[in-house]
Chains A and B, each alone.
Chain A
Amino acid sequence: MLELILLSVAKVMGIVMVFVMAVAALLTWIERKQSALIQNRVGPNRASVAGLRLGGIFHLAADAVKMLTKEDFDPETDNPLMFRLAPFLAVVPVMLLFAVIPFGPGEHFLISNVGVGALFILAVSSLGVYGSTIGAWASNNNFAMLGSIRTTAQMISYEVSMGLNLVGIFMIYESVNLQDIVIEQGSLIWGWLPAWGIVLQPLAFILFMTASIAETKRAPFDLPEGESEIVGYFVEFSSMRFGLLALSEFIGIVAVGATAAVLFLGGWQIPWVQGTGGWLTVAQVGAMILKTLFVVWLQMAIRWTLPRFRYDQLMRLGWQYLLPLSLLNIFITGVVLMFVEQGRI
C-alpha cells in the first residue's frame, strides 16, 4: 500500500510538476518571444542574470516574482469565497487531465490506467469552464460578466464537436483506453504506413485541433478574453490569482498537445520501430514529449498567424460547420470500417 502511494506520488511529481509545469512556465516566455519574432520585434530582453540575457528567458523568474509579490486586490463583491476559489477551479481540471495520459510504454509513465481514459479527458476538460464562469460572476464586474457569458457559450458549443471527433478514433482502435489506443497505433497499414490517428482520421485531427483551441480560449477564438474590447473574465484578478488563471491556460495548451499526440500522433510510438524496453523506452518517452511539444508549437503558431473571429462567426463555425463535419466523419468512418470488415478494402 505504502509503496503504491509513494510510486503514484513520484509519477505525479515527475509528470505534472517536472514536465508539465516546466513547459507551461516556458510557454509564458515563448509566447512573447515567438510573437515578437513573428511580428519583427525584439520581444522580452530586459531581465538578465550576471549580464547574461539568453533572449530574455529570465523573464520567467521575473514574472513569477512579480506575480507572487504584488497586492492581492479584492473587488467589492458578495462572494469573496467564490472569487478566491475560482483560480483553483480553473487550474485543477487542466492538471487532472495528465492523470490518464500515457507518456511511455508500460505502467511507469502513466499515473493511472483508467479504462475510460479518453472519456475522462473529455469529462475533466468540460469542468474547466467553472473557473472562469464563477470567477467572473464573483468579481461583480460587467466586463468580466460579458467574458464569462462568452466563455460558457463557446465552451459548451465546442465541447460537443470535440467529443464527436474522438468517436472516429474509438471506432477504429476499438477502445477508449488511451494506452490501448497508443499500442494500436503502433501497427502498420500495408506494411509501411503507421496506423496513426492523423493518417486514418485526418479530418478529425483538424476538427479536434480547432475545437481544442476554442476550448482553451486561445486566438483565433479568444473572444472571452478580447483584450481590446472587454479585457476578459479575469479583469478583477490580480497577482498570483491572475497568475493561476493564466497558468491554467498554458497548462491547457500542454494538455491539448499531449491529448492530440496520444490520440492522433501515435503517442509514444516511434514509427517503424516495434517493441519496448531499455533505451528504446527512453527514446519512446522522448518521442512522446517531442510530439507534445510539436502540437504546442502548432497552437502557438496558429495564435500569431490567424486573425480572430467575430462572435457570431465563432458560433456559426461551431454549430454549422464543425458539428455537421464531425457527424459526417463518424458516418464515413463507419462505412469504411464496414467495408474493411467485409474484406472489400
Chain B
Amino acid sequence: MEQVIFWILAIGTVASSVAVIVPPMGRNPVHGALSLVVAFFFLAGLYVMLVAHLVAVLQVLIYAGAIVVLFLFVIMLLNIQSEDLGHPRPTISKLIGVIAVGFVSIVLIGFILKDKGMAEPPVGLPSDSTFGTVKTVGNLLYTSYIVPFELTSILLLVAVIGAVIMAKRRL
C-alpha cells in the first residue's frame, strides 16, 4: 500500500515538474505556474509519507498558497501571449543547462546505485512518535540549529529591505 502511494506521488511530482517547462503546458506561463502548484502538492504528499506533517503543511501554505499565487499575479499582469514568446530556439545557455542537468543526474543515479545514503543522521533527531511534530521541530530550530535559523532570518530581512528599495527608488 505504502509502495503504491509512494510511486503515485513520485511519478506525479516528476511529471508535473517536467510539465512546468515542457510544452504543451510549459508554452503558457499560467499553465506552467499551475503545474508547479500540482508539483508542490505531490511533494507535500511525499513529506506526509515521511511523517513530516509540519513540512508538508508549510509546503502547501507558503509555496502553493502564497508564492505561486504571486507568480500567477505577475504573469497575469504581464499578459504574455504565446506569440510574444517566439519559437523555441537552441542557444548556448540551453546547451550548458542540458549538460549540467545530465551531469547532476548521472551523479545522483550513481549515488542511488551505490546506495550510500546519508553518512550519519543529523544531530538531535528524535526517533519516537514526537518526530516531525511542531514542538520537536520548533525545539530543534531554536536550540541546535539556532545559528542557521538566525542567518536565514537575516537573509530574508536583507531581501525585504532590497524589495522595498527596488519598489521605492525615491523615498
Instruction: Write the residues of chain A forming the contact surface with B, with a CB cutoff of 8 angstroms.
Output: 79, 82, 114-116, 119-120, 122-124, 126-127, 129-130, 133-134, 137, 145, 148-149, 152-153, 155-156, 159, 163, 170, 174, 176
Contact = CB atoms under 8 A, between A and B. Distances in A.
A122 B34 CA distance: 20
Contact of A116 (B34, B37, B77, B134): B134
9 contacts: A115-B53, A115-B134, A116-B57, A123-B64, A129-B65, A133-B72, A134-B30, A156-B66, A159-B66
Interface string B40-53: 00000000000001
Interface string B1-41: 00000000000000000000000000000110010010000
Contact of B60 (A123, A155, A163, A174): A123
Contact of B69 (A79, A119, A130): A130
Nearest to B44: A123
Given A126-B61, A152-B69, A159-B65, A119 B54 contact: yes
Nearest to B59: A123
Of A79, A130, A153, chain B has the most CB atoms within 10 Å of the CB of A130
Contacts, number: 73
B65 A127 contact: yes
Contacts of B72: 130, 133-134, 137, 152
B58 interface: yes
B76 A145 contact: yes
Interface of B: 30-31, 34, 37, 53-54, 57-58, 60-61, 64-66, 69-70, 72-73, 76-77, 133-135
A224 B69 CA distance: 16
Contact of B57 (A120, A129, A153, A170): A120
A148 B76 contact: yes
Contacts of A122: 61, 65
Nearest to A160: B66
A134 B34 contact: yes
A325 to B, nearest CB: 19
A299 to B, nearest CB: 22
Nearest to B64: A127
The interface residues of chain A, by DSSP majority, are classed as helix
A152 B71 CA distance: 11
A130 B70 CA distance: 11
A228 to B, nearest CB: 24
A119 B61 contact: yes
B12 to A, nearest CB: 17
| Top-8 shortest CB links A-B | A126-B65, A123-B61, A123-B60, A119-B57, A152-B73, A116-B57, A123-B57, A116-B53
Given A123-B61, A174-B135, 7 more contacts: A82-B30, A122-B65, A123-B60, A126-B69, A137-B30, A149-B73, A159-B65
A177 B77 CA distance: 39
A165 to B, nearest CB: 15
Of A116, A137, A148, A170, chain B has the most CB atoms within 10 Å of the CB of A116
Contacts of A123: 57-58, 60-61, 64-65
Nearest to B133: A115
A115 to B, nearest CB: 5
A137 B60 contact: no
Nearest to A170: B134
A149 B31 CA distance: 17
A173 to B, nearest CB: 12
Nearest to A117: B57
Contacts of B73: 133, 149, 152-153, 156
A82 B25 CA distance: 12
A176 B65 CA distance: 19
Contacts of B77: 149
Contacts of A114: 53
